Structure 1
Amino acid sequence: MRARWLASIPMAALALVTIYPLVFTTNVALKTRREYVLDRFSPAGSPRPDNLATAWTSVGMGGYFATSLIVVTCAVALLLWLGSMAGFALGSLRFRGSRALYLGCLAALFIPFQVIMVPLARTMTTLGLIDTRPGLVLAYVAQFLPFTIFLMASYYAHVPPEIVDAARIDGNTLFGVYRRIMLPIGTPALISAGILDALFCWNDVLIALLLMPSAENRTLMVGVTSLRGQYSDDIPTFAAGVLIAAVPVLIVYLFFQRHIAEGVAAGSTKG
Structure 2
Amino acid sequence: MPGRRLSKWVVAVPMGVLALVTIYPLVFTANVAMKTRREYILDRFSLTDSLRWDNLVTAWTSIGMARYFANSLIVVTASVVTLLLLGSMAGFALSQLRFRGSKAFFLGCLAALFIPFQVIMVPLARVMADTGLIDTYPGLVLAYVAQFLPFTIFLMTSYYKTIPAEIVDAARIDGNTVYGVYRRIMLPMGAPALLSVGILNALFCWNDVLISLLMMPSADHRTLMVGVTSLRGQYSDDIPTFASGVLIAAVPVLLTYLFLQRQIADGVTAGSTKG
The TM-score range, normalised by the shorter chain, is over 0.9
Could you state the TM-score of these two structures normalised by the residue count of structure 2?
Answer: 0.96
Q: Distance between the aligned counterparts of 2:265 and 2:64, measured in 1?
A: 35
Mapped partners of 1:261, 1:119: distance in 2:
34
Which residue, 210, 214, 233 being the options, matches 2:218? 214
In the superposition, relative to structure 1, how do residues 222 and 266 fare at CA in structure 2: closer, same or farther (>3 Å)?
A: closer
Alpha-carbon separation, structure 2, partners of 1:23 and 1:185: 40
Matched letter for residue 125 of structure 2:
A
User: How many residue pairs were aligned?
Assistant: 271
Aligned position for 1:223: 227
Amino acid at match of 1:101: F
Preserved contact between residue 188 and residue 266 of structure 1 (Cα < 8 Å): no
The CA deviation string for residues 85-108 of structure 1, in whole angstroms up to 9 with x for no partner, is 001111222211100000001101
Aligned to 1:105: 109
Residue matched to 1:47: 51
1:252-267 equivalence runs, <5 A: 252-265=256-269, 267=271
- Tell me what 1:8 maps to: 12
Q: 1:108 to 1:265 in 2, by over 3 A?
A: closer
Whether 1:143 and 2:150 are equivalent positions in the alignment is no
Counterpart mapping for 1:183-198 below 5 A: 183-198=187-202
1:2, CA displacement in angstroms?
2.9
Q: Once the 2 structures are TM-superposed, how far is the Cα of residue 267 of structure 1 from its aligned partner?
A: 2.1
Deviation at 1:5, TM superposition (A): 2.4
CA drift of 1:45 comes to 1.7
Task: Tell me by how many angstroms 1:266 deviates.
Answer: 5.0
- Secondary structure of 1:45's partner? coil
Residue 17 of structure 1 and its aligned partner are, at CA, apart by 0.6
Residue in 1 aligned with 2:84? 80
Once the two structures are superposed, the pairs formed by residues 66-77 of structure 1 within 5 Å of their partners are 66-77=70-81
SS of equivalent residue, structure 1 residue 52: helix
Task: Determine if the alignment matches structure 1 residue 126 to structure 2 residue 130.
Answer: yes
The Cα of 1:6 is off from its aligned counterpart by: 2.2
Distance in structure 2 (CA, Å) of the matches to 1:154 and 1:247: 32
* Alpha-carbon contact 2:158-2:270 (below 8 Å) kept: no
* TM-score normalised over the length of structure 1: 0.98
Amino acid at match of 1:228: R
CA distance in 2, matches of 1:238, 1:244: 10
Q: Which runs of 5+ in 1 are unaligned?
A: none
Distance 1:130 1:265, change over 3 A: closer
Amino-acid identity (%) = 77
Cα offset for 1:47?
Answer: 2.3
Deviations 1:17-57 (A, max 9, x none): 11111000000000000111111111012321100000001
Where does the alignment leave 5 or more consecutive residues of structure 2 unmatched? none
Find the counterpart in structure 1 of residue 179 from structure 2.
Answer: 175
SS at match of 1:94: coil
Instruction: Choose which of 246, 260, 263 in structure 1 pairs with 2:250.
Output: 246
- Name the CA distance, whole Å, in 2 between partners of 1:46 and 1:259: 37
| Deviation at residue 188 of structure 1 after TM alignment | 1.2
Which one-letter code corresponds to 2:260 in the other structure? F
